[in-house]
Amino acid sequence: MSSYSIESLEQYFKVYRRSVQKPKKFWGKIADENFTWYQKWDKVLEFDMQKAEFTWFKNAKLNITKNCIDRHLANKGDKNALIFEPNDPNEPARTYTYNQLYTEVCKLANVLKEQGVKKGDRVCIYLPMIPELAFSILACARIGAIHSVVFGGFSANALSTRINDSTSKVLITSDGGYRGAKTIDLKKIADEALKNSPSVEKVLVVNRTNQEINMQEGRDLWLQPLIDQAESTNVAEIMDAEDPLFILYTSGSTGKPKGMLHTTAGYMVFTAYTFKNIFNYNNDDIYWCTADIGWITGHSYIVYGPLLNGATTVIFEGIPSYPTYSRFWEVIEKHQVTQFYTAPTAIRSLAKEKVEYVQKFKMKSLKVIGSVGEPINEEAWHWYNDHVGGKVCPLVDTWWQTETGGILISAIPFVTPTKPTYASLPLPGIKPVIMDDLRNEIEVNQKSGSLCFDFPWPGIARSIWGDHQRYIDTYFTKFPGKYFSGDGALRDEVGYYRITGRVDDVVIVSGHNLGTAPIEDSINQHQAVAESAIVAFPHEIKGNALYGFVVIKEAGLWRDQNNLRKEINQLISDQIGAIAKLDKIQFVTGLPKTRSGKIMRRILRAIAEGGDYDFGDTTTLLNPEIVEEIKTGRIAP
Ligand code: WTA
């Protein structure tokens, strides 16, 4: 077990050196010593970076749910696997032991089978943050179906697009969901989506809110009666190491979302190993990650990583501000949480409230606190460190992506000294490189460039569902022989990495990945709109917010600009979801373009950000006069 758990900085450096010199030996040993296999591998790794082909643990056979559940039953059957904390603090929390989790997952697996789901079929899951979301994921994995979870905040149109791209056969949803003071009509949204999604044959509906819903005869079934009748054991499907485990959509620089494909064995080994080390997980810990399971953070570090380690993981249905700004801190005290993992945007929103909200609660149980999803600014870092971590809990700033499957750069608590705003050092087996635009490696410290990786790790995505060429083009072409993350980064003199933000057309708003292209596509569907360009500008709480420059077709016809703004945001909300709405919309008569017709976004970015405009070289602009107009009409904060 020596390389599995890292306990000193000296050991980290030793393990790191070994891991990058002999990565196959390193990962092979971890896989060998810490998991249950039906059959071990012939080869730890085969890969071709140019073709984006990766085979980890070739020909090994396993089932990930045997590793998440079954193998813990003998010693930890009565230990809590899940603690469900509902949205409403007056509703009692629910717990599920590993024994109970086993039964729930087996029953649901049997239901799916009865409904005709087979190995390799896609099952779309559109649920609020309730235990059934975790059961559904694991039930799919149990029978070898590929789960595709769609975040519950997405619109009907976004859901439909994702169901169609993955050609999902079954949809698991609920009547509704609670979110703060609101109720979300999930089934109604799903019904709307299904009008355009013919691949779905069956809809299984969880009862959460008891609200009136429409049930379509022959297609829609309440889940509970089926569960009640299902057998409570299930023989897990034997999966190949490289059989697909799930698809999870992430934004890209074209309108179509990218269905990142993750496979079984590598993802398992990687999430388990990173969870153990980055959260300093020990047997009696109560671990809580506040992300939604609809994002990769929830997949890897609410469900798979913790359960693979036999941990107790909290599933929280609510939001940080409901019923008060104390909700997070109250839950930490209530369940004696030992590891707390959240996003900078949540921290910033809570830090602006009175400090009594956090001081009222005893959070002595906390041992490690974590951050994920976007760069954490210095102020938020200190607030989090001082008021939540009480200056004694290491704060791990974890850098990773949907595409990476698990954390690649992070401090290891009690091992790596932390430094505000720096994600710090790569995990063992991970080889970051920073590249300049001429594809040279940047050796000089403190100069930022594109963050790339030189060597595959077990959790790397294997493809984009249905479009391997797009996978190659997006991640493996700009810097041949390397994985390109789309992020910028720099390295300090001791080798710590600092993430400087996206360098492509993706914007991170409140920790959510949004592509500007799909938002522009939605806006352009409005009959008054000729074209549009979206850029990000810094926002105190959300990190980034969106600023839209919109060209109207016939300005005279559209005098009620506020109404038009509302319509545009409604359109975005319908097409993508409320998370993608614009904070500012400026109507313009044209966009700055190069002679080849390309929008010069850096000019728009500079205007959106404000300050003293340094536009750089604008001599290649086709329409330089437009810049003055846009500047004059800028919407100030
Ligand atoms: C950003 C979330 C700075 C980054 C796990 C990345 C971060 C994108 C950090 C992936 C961090 C994530 N510091 N930036 N600690 N963690 N990001 O796919 O831009 O939802 O490329 O995965 O979030 O977002 P995704």
Per the domain annotation, does 584 fall within a domain? yes
Asked whether 592 lines ligand 1 (CB < 6 A), one says: no
Residue reference for tokens 């789901």: 117
For strands 146-149 and 122-126, give the pairing: parallel
Kindly state whether residue 571 falls inside one of the protein's structural domains: yes
Phi, psi angles (nearest 5°) of residue 280: 45, 50
**Distance from residue 380's CA to the centre of ligand 1 (Å):** 16
Q: Please give the angle made by the CA atoms of 240, 242 and 246, to the nearest 5 degrees.
A: 105
Amino acid in position 364? K
Kindly give the distance from the C-alpha atom of residue 526 to the centroid of ligand 1, in angstroms, as a whole number. 31
* Residue 402 CB–ligand 1 contact under 6 Å: yes
- Using CA positions, which residue lies closest to atom 7 of ligand 1? 374
Task: Determine the pLDDT at residue 3.
Answer: 60
Q: Evaluate whether residue 237 is within a structural domain.
A: no
Task: With respect to residue 544, please indicate whether it lies within any of the assigned structural domains.
Answer: yes
Q: In whole angstroms, give the CA distance from residue 169 to residue 143.
A: 14
Q: What percent of the chain has pLDDT over 90?
A: 88
Q: Is the CB of 296 under 6 A from ligand 1?
A: yes
pLDDT at 81: 98
How confident is the model at residue 436, as a pLDDT? 93
- For the CA of 376, the closest atom of ligand 1 is 13
Please indicate whether residue 250, judged by its CB atom, sits closer than 6 Å to ligand 1.
yes
Given the structure tokens 């009222």, which residue do they identify? 360
**Residue 564 resides in a domain:** yes
252 lines ligand 1 (CB under 6 A): no
What is the residue with the minimal CA distance to atom 25 of ligand 1? Answer: 401
- Does ligand 1 lie within 6 Å of residue 486's CB atom? yes
Closest atom, ligand 1, to C-alpha of 398: 15
One-letter identity of residue 541:
I
Instruction: Read off the CATH number of the domain in which 519 is found.
Output: 3.30.300.30
C-alpha 474 – ligand 1 centre gap (Å): 17
C-beta of 500 in contact with ligand 1 (< 6 A)? no
Host domain of residue 512 = 507-632
pLDDT at 1: 39
Residue 614 confidence (pLDDT): 75
The answer, yes or no, to whether the previous bond of 323 is cis (omega within 30 of 0) is yes
Choose the residue to mutate in 499, 500, 502, 579 for probing ligand 1, maximizing ligand atoms within 8 Å of C-beta.
499
Where helices occur in 264-415 by DSSP H, the ranges are 264-278, 296-298, 305-308, 327-335, 344-351, 356-359, 378-383
373 C-alpha to ligand 1 centroid (Å): 4
- CA-423 nearest atom, ligand 1: 15
- Whether residue 559 is contained in a domain is answered as yes
Q: What is the pLDDT of residue 622?
A: 83
Q: How far is the CA of 372 from the centre of ligand 1 (A)?
A: 7
Q: Report mean pLDDT in 10-residue bins for the chain, 637 residues.
A: 80 97 98 98 98 98 98 98 98 98 98 98 98 98 98 95 98 98 97 98 98 98 98 98 98 84 98 98 97 97 98 98 98 98 96 96 97 94 98 98 98 97 97 94 87 98 98 97 96 94 90 91 90 94 96 76 94 94 95 84 91 75 89 89
How far, in Å, is the centroid of ligand 1 from the Cα of 21?
Answer: 27
289 CB near ligand 1 (under 6 Å): no
- Torsion sign across C-alpha atoms 600, 605, 610, 611: negative
The pLDDT, as a whole number, for residue 130 is: 98
Angle, nearest 10°, between helix axes 264-278 and 23-34? 90
179 lines ligand 1 (CB under 6 A): no
Structure tokens at 322: 């409901």
Question: What is the Å distance from ligand 1's center to 397 Cα?
Answer: 10
Number of domains, the chain: 1
The response to whether residue 297 sits with its C-beta less than 6 Å from ligand 1 reads yes
| 423 alpha carbon – ligand 1 mean position (Å) | 11
Q: Angle 69-71-75 (CA atoms, 0-180°, nearest 5)?
A: 100
